[in-house]
Structure 1
Amino acid sequence: MERNINFFKRGIYYIQFLIIRFLEKIFMLLPEKTRFKIGESVAVLAFKLVGEVRNITILNLKLAFPEKTNEEIKRLGIESCKTMSRAFFVNMWLDKYLENDDNFKIADEELLNEAIKDGPVVFGAMHFGNMEAPVKLANRFPIVTVAKDRTNPYINDLVIKNRTRFNITLLQKNKTTSRELIKCAKDGMTPILLTDHRDSNGTDIKFFGEETTAPTGVASIALKYERPLYLMYCILKEDNTTEVHIKKVPKSEDTSLSFKENVQKTVQNMFNEMEIVMREYPEQWMWSYDRWKLYSKYKKGLLSPELMNFVKTFK
């Protein structure tokens, strides 16, 4: 926990923590199906009432699926928010949820066994479906992952405790994370890293035809240590069970290119695979994240007149 927080702010954070813990205990008295339903209801309200959430979502969907009608975009936006909300809510009882083997199915069991039989590999994961569920795989091979600190240090400590109970190595994102991650990889651990976010320090790629940036961590480790690279994604199904999928990502190992160029091409290959998955299951991805900075441009009036009008007239 951070120590450089003033007394007043620490007190506010602790009160927030106590309120959340109290509400969580009340919430956990409800049947599991009811908890998921509440999560969906919260998502629908957020989409309808929180302009930023709705506008980011519809702009991203319009970029990815320009052929869809406004009604289709609205439906996908709501379904995506519902999926993300269910995935967020289940973190409150993730240990109990994953103890039930009926809740966790690996769709590509043979491919996973083939991937890990010869030693550690590298998995790039997505903000997709029940994205925390792969921690269950720690009972099969040693996992290392990275997470950002929460602003509230008490909640941050609770999240760390909940995640590490699955016997994973959790690194908190800071200036030394890259070195720590490489050490864990060299020690034989398998990185599973969320890697579909924007990263200004990463490499340039195209994603749904739009130029953007992406992190290079998983590609760099896979190339440097000659490990297979896979995309992992977790579908949160309508019955609230989780189905885990993996796809092998082709690495660029062109000897005529520099290491940096091969990393860039490998990252692009991974995002090409992500795009295929997202087109198949668009309701599973977190479209409410300003991935392409479209919402930032909208607020500054920098979008095309067509997109500006699309947002302003969207119902």
Structure 2
Amino acid sequence: MSFNRNFKAGKFHWSFLLPKYWGIWLALTLLMIFAILPWAIQWRLAERLSKLAWKVLKSRRKTTIRNLELCFPDKSEQQIQADAKQVFFNMMLGLFEALNAWYNPRWFQNRMHIQGLEHLKSAEGKGILLIGTHTTLLDAGGFACGSFFELDVVYRPQNNPLLDMIISRCRSTIYQNQISKDDMKGLISNLKHGHAIWYSPDQDFGLKQGVMAPFFGIQAATVTAHRRLINITKAAAIPLYFYRNGDIRNPQYHILLEPALKNFPSVDEVEDAIRVNLVVENQIKMFPTQYMWFHRRFKTRPSGEKSLY
């Protein structure tokens, strides 16, 4: 089903009660039940679901393994397999963490930590573009950030309007504003008004929106829209990373803010793309299996080069 622009994000429509949406309502009911389960049970369910996803999502599994092989060539086949399975586990655990952020936020009390908040304060009065990654923590990381400072998020609207409404409503308790990735006017306006916006320039959208630049030593299509946003709004570009450590007994959620990028953007968009890719690489290397490796990051290839997938 294609996304119908007549449906406004976050708004309920009576047509959502039609039979074609009943499956989503049933799934939503189950997810709300999952959200109130004890953490140990959520963890065990994530383990089981990740094993099921590993078997069923063959294309995602293949892409994850290939990405890890390309980005970590020194690892053995056994290490790559183990890391790929851990990615699937973190993906499933991230779903439960997002549910907790949406429906059971008190669970995160005394589990959140932040480092580098002074970098946000040093940019006070300016818009801030928070340069981050697509992490498997999903909205748990956003919730942790929102516990220390207000932030907007850039998102891709869901194709299903009911699903889009549900996610929009859940995220409204976490983010100050949700801005579609295609809403450049909204991004510019919010940055000019001094908002902090979480923006992840780490996916392959082709060369209409970017340039080729090395990512883990491999040429990859890298978006450059953030350069234009910063040029127009004079916003600060501050790297943002959040991650989980600990175990089933005591998970802890950490936010890391780094100093604003200096002399950014420059006059060279390729050099800027290389610089941002290095920021993302350094973030990923901290906890590699908490990154969404199941996206085809190297889908676009230089002219004449064969597909890596």
* Structure 1 length-normalised TM: 0.80
Task: Report the CA distance between 1:9 and its aligned residue.
Answer: 10
Alpha-carbon displacement from aligned partner over 1:50-107 (angstroms, at most 9, x marks no partner): 321221011000100111111000111111121122112222221423663322211x
SS in structure 2 of the partner of residue 128 of structure 1 = coil
Aligned length: 290
Q: Give yes or no for the alignment of 1:244 onto 2:255.
A: yes
| Partner Cα separation in structure 1 for residue 61 and residue 307 of structure 2 | 17
What code does the residue aligned with 2:256 have? H
| Partner Cα separation in structure 1 for residue 51 and residue 220 of structure 2 | 29
Question: Of 272, 275, 281, which aligns to 2:278?
Answer: 272
1:102–1:140 Cα change, 3 Å: closer
Q: Contact (CA 8 Å) 1:56, 1:287: kept in 2 or not?
A: yes
Q: Give yes or no for the alignment of 1:288 onto 2:299.
A: no
Task: Report the CA distance between 1:3 and its aligned residue.
Answer: 6.6
Look up the match of 1:22. Answer: 29
What code does the residue aligned with 2:280 have? M
Question: Of 209, 212, 226, which aligns to 1:204?
Answer: 212
| Partner Cα separation in structure 2 for residue 111 and residue 179 of structure 1 | 29
SS in structure 1 of the partner of residue 133 of structure 2 = strand
Look up the match of 1:56. Answer: 63
Question: Of 68, 75, 97, which aligns to 2:75?
Answer: 68
Task: Report the CA distance between 1:113 and its aligned residue.
Answer: 5.0
Which aligned pairs between 1:121-132 and structure 2 lie closer than 5 A? Answer: 121-132=128-139
Which aligned pairs between 1:75-86 and structure 2 lie closer than 5 A? Answer: 75-86=82-93
Q: List gaps (5 residues or longer) in structure 2.
A: 8-13
Look up the match of 1:313. Answer: none
Look up the match of 1:162. Answer: 170
| Partner Cα separation in structure 1 for residue 24 and residue 194 of structure 2 | 36
Look up the match of 1:43. Answer: 50
Alpha-carbon displacement from aligned partner over 1:261-299 (angstroms, at most 9, x marks no partner): 2x44223212112212323321111111111129x9xxx
Alpha-carbon displacement from aligned partner over 1:129-168 (angstroms, at most 9, x marks no partner): 4242234444654422221111221121010011112351
Q: Contact (CA 8 Å) 1:128, 1:285: kept in 2 or not?
A: yes
1:138–1:203 Cα change, 3 Å: same
| Partner Cα separation in structure 2 for residue 199 and residue 264 of structure 1 | 16
Which aligned pairs between 1:41-190 and structure 2 lie closer than 5 A? Answer: 41-95=48-102, 96-97=104-105, 100-106=108-114, 108-117=115-124, 119-132=126-139, 133-138=141-146, 141-174=149-182, 177-190=183-196
| Partner Cα separation in structure 1 for residue 37 and residue 151 of structure 2 | 32
1:214–1:275 Cα change, 3 Å: same
| Partner Cα separation in structure 2 for residue 113 and residue 3 of structure 1 | 35
1:251–1:29 Cα change, 3 Å: closer
* Structure 2 length-normalised TM: 0.81
1:303–1:165 Cα change, 3 Å: closer
Q: List gaps (5 residues or longer) in structure 1.
A: 297-301, 309-315
| Higher share in helix | 1
Q: Contact (CA 8 Å) 1:131, 1:234: kept in 2 or not?
A: no
Q: Contact (CA 8 Å) 2:242, 2:253: kept in 1 or not?
A: yes
Give the RMSD, CA atoms, in angstroms: 3.0
Q: Contact (CA 8 Å) 1:219, 1:229: kept in 2 or not?
A: no
| Partner Cα separation in structure 1 for residue 225 and residue 5 of structure 2 | 29
SS in structure 2 of the partner of residue 126 of structure 1 = coil
SS in structure 2 of the partner of residue 151 of structure 1 = coil
SS in structure 2 of the partner of residue 84 of structure 1 = helix
Task: Report the CA distance between 1:233 and its aligned residue.
Answer: 1.4
Q: Contact (CA 8 Å) 1:129, 1:233: kept in 2 or not?
A: no
